[in-house]
Amino acid sequence: MQPFRRLEGIAAPLPMVNVDTDKIIPAHWLKTIKRTGLGVGLFETLRYREDGSENPDFVLNREPWRRARILIAGENFGCGSSREHAPWALLDFGIRCVIAPSFADIFFNNCFKNGILPIVLPRETVDALMAEAETSPEPVFTIDLERQLILRPSGNAPVRFEVDPFKRHCLLEGLDDIGLTLKKAHEIEAYEEALRREKPWLFRPAA
């Protein structure tokens, strides 16, 4: 995974609540057996018109937001399915940070596994950042994960954000969870041995 330390980029405002994973990436894109190439399907129904041409009203089709690396959205972003294709699509488009008042749990987790930083902030703060993203001539924000700060294009006071310390550590270092867990192989084995004794019904011969 690519480490996430400091991200400088344009932020796009998406003032919608309950943006679900079907909206982020419709189900027909889920037939892929790869992680890449999903950026073109990101927000498909919002981004394209019936004939396949770009919808000029959608924020990610307009300058400067079509170059967005940060998304600012309404509450409960990413609700719905567990599809990791949603963060894969964001990443493939170039977005590595989503700011919202709240996220759905599975999507939130999936982001961290892919080097995307989801930031939860109070609704008023999100609204203020969203307004800046919409009105600043060059809405470039800097996300500083080391200092846990968002630097704003307006020059207003930076916004401090909270992040789980372990998840922050993994993002900063670009760590692979599986590699970390496999260092605990002895502990897992010991647990399994005890489990075989205490709950033998959980083990069955391979079919």
List of residues contacting other proteins (CB under 8 A) = 15-18, 20, 22-23, 26-28, 30-35, 45, 74-76, 79-84, 87, 102-106, 109-110, 113-114, 164-166, 177-178, 180-182, 184, 187-188, 191-192, 195, 199-207
Distance between CA 149 and CA 130 in Å, rounded?
Answer: 16
Give min distance, CB of 20 to other proteins, in A: 5
Which structure tokens are listed for 161?
């954000």
Question: 146 vs 101, 102, 120, 129, 199, CA distance in Å?
Answer: 21, 22, 16, 20, 44
Under 8 Å between Cβ of 112 and 61: no
Q: Based on CB atoms, which residue is closest to other proteins, 65 or 88? A: 88
Range list of β-strands (E), the chain: 6-14, 70-73, 97-100, 117-120, 140-144, 149-151, 159-160
Q: Based on CB atoms, which residue is closest to other proteins, 8 or 166? A: 166
Q: Based on CB atoms, which residue is closest to other proteins, 40 or 182? A: 182
Give min distance, CB of 60 to other proteins, in A: 17
Give min distance, CB of 160 to other proteins, in A: 19
Q: Based on CB atoms, which residue is closest to other proteins, 53 or 157? A: 53
Give min distance, CB of 199 to other proteins, in A: 7
- Residue 204 three-state SS: coil
